[in-house]
Amino acid sequence: MNVNKPVFSYIEFYEWTVQLVKNKQTSGEKQTENLIKFTELNLSRMKRLNKTTKLIPELENFVTTLKKPQVWYVITEAWCGDSAQNLPVIGEIAAAGNKIDLRVILRDENPELIEKYHTNGSKSIPKLIAFSEEGVELFTWGPRPKTAQDLVMDWKENPAGRDFEAFEKELHTWYTKDKTQTTQKEFLEILTNLKY
């Protein structure tokens, strides 16, 4: 797959985000105060998840016994809250074995790619696209686990007086309570059903 640089490992993306926060910046062309604040908040989310994420045994066992290599591209940006909640566990999954090569790329640097991988007509991130070693697309995932996606769709259809800020708090409270379990179970199901 042709992608534009930069291409990060998860650790490199995390360290780059640390530098962005130190420099009071965010990723992408838009350097707004809100996006910079989201980047700061996301760094604290990633720090927490880096410390607390533990793979469920079934997923860890499955990943460590993968026979064929896979390349996972995650399209994201540093200001993306869903990315901060999911990228650490995706990084942990990839690191658990030696068959998944995780590459993190930026949405705004890869407009053709995100155009190809819309979710419900939008450029939602994070978006993971997995390929075989030969370049055959195996699966896509994202921008968030199904339960969280259902929360988003319900809010969009019926905000019930909740503004975006109130909804964001509700969504991230769900993520905190879930402790990456739903995301892990989704990846376990995807990987165990994968035929290639």
**123 pLDDT more than 80:** yes
Tally of domains within the chain: 1
Q: What pLDDT score does 79 carry?
A: 98
* CATH assignment at residue 63: 3.40.30.10
pLDDT tens for 1-56 read 789 899 999 999 999 999 999 999 999 989 999 999 999 999 999 999 999 999 99
**196 pLDDT more than 80:** no
Q: 55 lies in which domain range?
A: 7-192
Q: What pLDDT score does 83 carry?
A: 98
Q: Does residue 2 sit within a domain? A: no
- Whether the CB-CB separation of 89 and 182 falls below 8 Å is answered with no
The torsion angles phi and psi of 180, rounded to 5 degrees, stand at 70, 5
Q: What is the largest CA-CA distance in the chain?
A: 50
- pTM for the predicted model, two decimal places: 0.95
Is 65 in a helix, a strand, or coil?
A: coil
Residues facing residue 120 across a β-bridge: none
